[in-house]
Amino acid sequence: MTVPDDVTRLLAERFGLESGDPITVSRDRVVELGGALKEAGFTYLVYVACAHYPATDAEPDRTVAEYRVRRLPVDEVAFRVWVPTGESTPTLVPVFAGCDWQEREQFDLVGTIFAGHPDLRRIMLPEDWEGHPLRRDYDIATRHHPWR
Amino acid sequence: MDPENYDPEGDLMILNLGPQHPSTHGVFRVKLWLDGEVCIKAVPYPGYLHRGVEKLCEKLSYVMITPIVDKNDYVSPFINELAINMAFEALNAVETPRRANYLRTLGAEMQRVGSHLLWLGTFGLDMGGALGGGASVFMHCFRERELILDCFELWTGSRFHYNTLTVGGNRHDVPAGFAELVRQTYTLIGQRADEYDAMLVDNAIFRARTKGVGTVDAKLAMELGVSGPILRASGIDWDLRRDRPYAAYNEVKLDVPVRYEGDCFARYEVRMAELRESIRIVLDLIDGIPEGPICALKPVKLPGAYKGKVGQAYAAVEGPRGELGTWVIADGTDKPYRCKIRPPSYHAVSLIPYLAPGNNVSDIVVTLGSLDPILGEVDR
């Protein structure tokens, strides 16, 4: 999916970012970018998805959160933000109401922490579950208490 | 009742709708705060059917995932297979042959009719006693859906969880006599769809219970990522099959039904129009399938033979409930690094906290039925 021209201009002039699929943005500007895209007509939230990357020699243990928004009918932009484990990224719930459940699901399964989220509880797993199963270091055979 | 937690000023009753209630269409719980019969607040609790499909996708190789995702949206497995295989093909830019594309389009439309028939039956059931027991529409629709499953059984060998699509194309070609069976079946369903429409729309109770109930605001629906018939019933003319054609949809004539009221009746009308449109597409396609190979890659003998190039891809198809997408990250091995499935029902169910307040409990059941959620794909 190619990024539309007006978004490329917006990114270069206001944010000093390179266009791409996905666009990488820093944590302190992700809310501003989401708001600017919504003003530019990208009002449809497609998904929020996170993935976990264990620590390497170059990078610490971290997760990536990717947001994809769409301007109907076809234009689509994805932007992502890197979140080191133990730190948080600001929530986009004030911009897109749909981020509520999407970010909750990703917090539950991947463990990314969204600061300022109004209701950051587990949504898929039981409230007393330990760990986040979609992290790469979570063993699929992890034993849990038998009464669960 | 625990007197410590009782609020004498609020005097609200808390009612758990579900998780085992038939009107929740699966295992789904909504906690309702009721003032008399009127709902004040609703908090949904999904997750009862969580099976860890996305974690399984990280542990299985690409060709082994198709039969797993069959069980996500267990009412339209063919479209699940299509969505996930399109994402895997996008990773390596695999072009599927023309005949495979046509068969995929045909199968998706056949499946859409079956899925909408099941929705129509259960929606009649949700109305309960209002419609002469409600079960008559349900039984009629299930009778017709059996015929569709017979067509798929002849094609793939399975009535339901087909495992017929794979990376690069299809695994089963259509057998002799298939076109004739499909033509008979869908002509019959097309005739009977008018009868069901008459049974429901001519019923004053059905109209009274659906018109003006559960109105979805289009702006909110877009922010929540709601798609498919729910969005089209709220006046947004958008359909992935027409606006971003995949498989053979760029060679198929397609009318997209749109309604503007946004209530349960508008969603009913959109789905009935889609049902007829899909029947028409099936009957158009069945005679015009081009000849040729059905798979672009050699038949996979070992599960690990297909490897995704390093990168990521997102592919989406228009399922019966809306945009069914797959976001996949590949790291060059025979297994996906991360595979996120974007189910339309998850976004539809997130509408409930906005729709339920102000309605009677009986209207909430109708609203939930008109959203057509499949909890297998909400929870995954």
pLDDT over threshold 70, residue A39:
yes
Partners of B323 on chain A (C-beta within 8 Å) are 46
Q: Could you tell me which residue, B124 or B229, shows the higher pLDDT?
A: B229
Q: What is the mean pLDDT of residues B202-228?
A: 87
pLDDT-derived band at B300, boundaries 50, 70, 90 = low
* Among A64-68, A128-132, B342-346, the least confident range: A128-132
Q: What is the mean pLDDT of residues A121-148?
A: 80
Rg (CA), chain B: 21
| Residues B378, B375: Cα–Cα separation, whole Å | 5
- B140 to chain A, any CB pair closer than 8 A? The answer is no
| Residue B194 amino acid letter | D
Alpha helices in A4-142 (DSSP H): 5-10, 30-39, 99-109
| Residues A126, A133: Cα–Cα separation, whole Å | 12
- Cβ separation A45–B222 shorter than 8 A: yes
Question: How is domain A5-115 classified at the architecture level of CATH?
Answer: 2-Layer Sandwich (3.30)
Distance from CA of B4 to the nearest CA of A (A): 23
Which residues 222-251 of chain B have a CB within 8 Å of chain A?
Answer: 222-225, 236, 238, 243-244
Partners of B50 on chain A (C-beta within 8 Å) are 124-125
Report the SS3 class of residue B335: coil
Report the SS3 class of residue B177: coil
Q: Could you tell me which residue, B9 or B242, shows the higher pLDDT?
A: B242
CA-based angle A9:A10:A15, to the nearest 5? Answer: 115
Rg (CA), chain A: 17
Cα distance from N-terminal residue to C-terminal residue, chain A: 44
| Residues A59, A50: Cα–Cα separation, whole Å | 17
Cβ burial B354-368 (10 Å sphere, 16+ → b, else e): ebbeebeebbbbbbb
Report the SS3 class of residue A104: helix
Name the CATH topology of B7-379: Cytochrome-c3 Hydrogenase; chain B (1.10.645)
Contact B370, B23 (CB under 8 A): no
Residue of B nearest to A139 (CA): B55
Q: Which residue has the tokens 């794979």?
A: B166
Partners of A51 on chain B (C-beta within 8 Å) are 329, 337-338
ipTM, 2 decimals?
Answer: 0.87
- A49 to chain B, any CB pair closer than 8 A? The answer is yes
Q: Which residues contact B59 (CB under 8 A, 6 or more apart)?
A: A140, B335
- A74 to chain B, any CB pair closer than 8 A? The answer is yes
Which pLDDT belongs to residue B1? 42
Q: Report the candidate in A103, A148, A106, A110 with the shortest Cα–Cα distance to residue A129.
A: A148
Distances from the Cα of A115 to the Cα of A84, A112, A120, B116, B369, angstroms: 13, 10, 9, 40, 35
Contact B209, B366 (CB under 8 A): yes
- Cβ separation B350–A78 shorter than 8 A: no
Parse chain A into domains and list their residue ranges: 5-115
pLDDT over threshold 80, residue A25:
yes
Number of H helices, E strands in chain A: 3, 6
pLDDT-derived band at A139, boundaries 50, 70, 90 = confident
Instruction: Tell me the pLDDT tens digit for each residue of B334-375.
Output: 889 999 999 999 999 999 999 888 888 888 888 888 888 888
Best residue of B50, B227, B331, B337 to probe chain A, by most A CBs closer than 10 Å = B50
Partners of A126 on chain B (C-beta within 8 Å) are 47
Q: Which residues contact B76 (CB under 8 A, 6 or more apart)?
A: B111, B112, B114, B115, B319, B320
Which pLDDT belongs to residue B131? 59
Report the SS3 class of residue B367: helix
Q: Which residues contact B331 (CB under 8 A, 6 or more apart)?
A: B308, B310, B337
Which pLDDT belongs to residue B281? 92
Contact B79, B108 (CB under 8 A): yes
Partners of A52 on chain B (C-beta within 8 Å) are 338
Residue of A nearest to B378 (CA): A124
pLDDT-derived band at B173, boundaries 50, 70, 90 = confident
Please state the separation of Cα B184 from the chain's center in Å: 25
Which pLDDT belongs to residue B135? 72
Q: Look up residue A47 and give its two tokens.
A: 């998904």
- Cβ separation B225–A45 shorter than 8 A: yes
% of chain B residues with pLDDT over 70: 93
- Cβ separation B223–A140 shorter than 8 A: no
Q: Where are the beta strands (DSSP E) in A5-144?
A: 23-24, 44-53, 62-71, 75-84, 88-90, 113-115
- A45 to chain B, any CB pair closer than 8 A? The answer is yes
pLDDT over threshold 60, residue B3:
no
CA-based angle B20:B23:B24, to the nearest 5? Answer: 60
Distance from CA of A138 to the nearest CA of B (A): 10
| Residues B264, B215: Cα–Cα separation, whole Å | 7
Partners of B316 on chain A (C-beta within 8 Å) are 46
pLDDT-derived band at B78, boundaries 50, 70, 90 = very high
Which residues 27-46 of chain B have a CB within 8 Å of chain A?
Answer: 46
Cβ burial A49-79 (10 Å sphere, 16+ → b, else e): bbbbbeeeeeeeebbbbbbbbbbbeebbbbb
Instruction: Tell me the pLDDT tens digit for each residue of B264-279.
Output: 899 999 999 999 999 9
To the nearest whole number, what is the mean pLDDT of chain A?
Answer: 86
Interface contacts (A, B; CB < 8 Å): 81
| Residues B289, B221: Cα–Cα separation, whole Å | 37
- Cβ separation A102–B225 shorter than 8 A: yes
- Cβ separation A43–B238 shorter than 8 A: no
Which is it for strands B29-35 and B13-17: parallel, antiparallel or unpaired?
A: antiparallel
Indicate the angle between helix axes B264-285 and B98-126, nearest 10 degrees: 150
To the nearest whole number, what is the mean pLDDT of chain B?
Answer: 86
